[in-house]
Structure 1
């Protein structure tokens, strides 16, 4: 028993000596860090003084606002007058209620078959709407082309980067309620 006790005491002494040695290195490291802080002097360039602000009066107030809805309406009507324009039929028809909402504010919550015809159920502003193939929705002249149990396919008419009106495929997918 005394031999085991002696070996334990020896191990404990060695551990304490090792920890004491680490403490000395810590102090040496701390002194070196302090010395480095004293020796390094930051070189910061002084900021240049601000330029004098010279206010200008806004002279384009009397000009036509480039973002005016009136200007956009005129441009759309001119586009619609052109022969073979995709937009012509869309502008001249009566708008449907769901065309006032962007597609990302709508969610498909179900589908139903009534009298052999497929309908989709859409939730918009906490109201439920029933739509069928041929109905319009969204703000880009979106027309429903196909309804399945899980999604609605539609075609939209949008302007590309060159300003030309093109057809684009869009879709709304069934949104499962998370619990």
Structure 2
């Protein structure tokens, strides 16, 4: 360690002497930069004074309260049509009916199957009694050109109605 003592002192003196370098060029650059970049701030815009608003419609009718009492007809017959919630769902019931397309039929003897393509381009074989579409669409007839269904849809007053629908071959 004693051998390296003069070398350590020499390196330390060299490092200290480097710190005393002339930095006048740096000071000149800073002075020029400060003098050339004089910024200006736009004045604040003039704001209009606040004008208070007095609400004068407080004594008028509440728009969220019905003015006419809507009485339900006692003559309305409750519909006996209801979707079967306990029935196991079939694969084509997850797709809306308008996204399914009929691509053909299969026939063996007197048995006729329809071929339905879903939005994922998977072809499914269906027969009378199968369900498809999101409205409980039960297949009631299959022909060479179309598949007829009966859907159970809400009637808008708390019940359900049956609605006929069909998918034609090649139709989307």
TM-score (norm 2): 0.51
Matched, 1:154 2:166: no
Check 1:107–1:176 CA distance in 2 against 1; reply closer, same or farther (3 A cut).
closer
Q: Residue 102 of structure 1 corresponds to which residue in structure 2?
A: 96
Count residues in correspondence. 96
Which of the two has greater helix per residue?
1
Q: Residue 170 of structure 1 corresponds to which residue in structure 2?
A: 165
Task: For 2:129 and 2:171, locate their aligned partners in 1 and report how far apart those are by CA, in whole Å.
Answer: 25
| Structure-to-structure mapping, 1:16-35, within 5 angstroms | none
Task: For 1:133 and 1:147, locate their aligned partners in 2 and report how far apart those are by CA, in whole Å.
Answer: 7
Which structure has the larger Rg over C-alpha atoms?
2
Structure 1 unaligned regions, length at least 5: 1-48, 52-82
Check 1:176–1:138 CA distance in 2 against 1; reply closer, same or farther (3 A cut).
closer
Matched, 1:131 2:143: no
Task: For 1:91 and 1:114, locate their aligned partners in 2 and report how far apart those are by CA, in whole Å.
Answer: 33
Deviation at 1:164, TM superposition (A): 1.7
Deviation at 1:176, TM superposition (A): 6.8
Q: Which 4+ stretches in 1 moved above 3 angstroms?
A: none
Task: For 1:93 and 1:86, locate their aligned partners in 2 and report how far apart those are by CA, in whole Å.
Answer: 15
Deviation at 1:84, TM superposition (A): 7.5
| Structure-to-structure mapping, 1:55-66, within 5 angstroms | none
Task: For 1:93 and 1:87, locate their aligned partners in 2 and report how far apart those are by CA, in whole Å.
Answer: 12
Deviation at 1:162, TM superposition (A): 2.0
The structure, 1 or 2, with the larger RCO (C-alpha pairs under 8 Å, 6+ apart) is 2
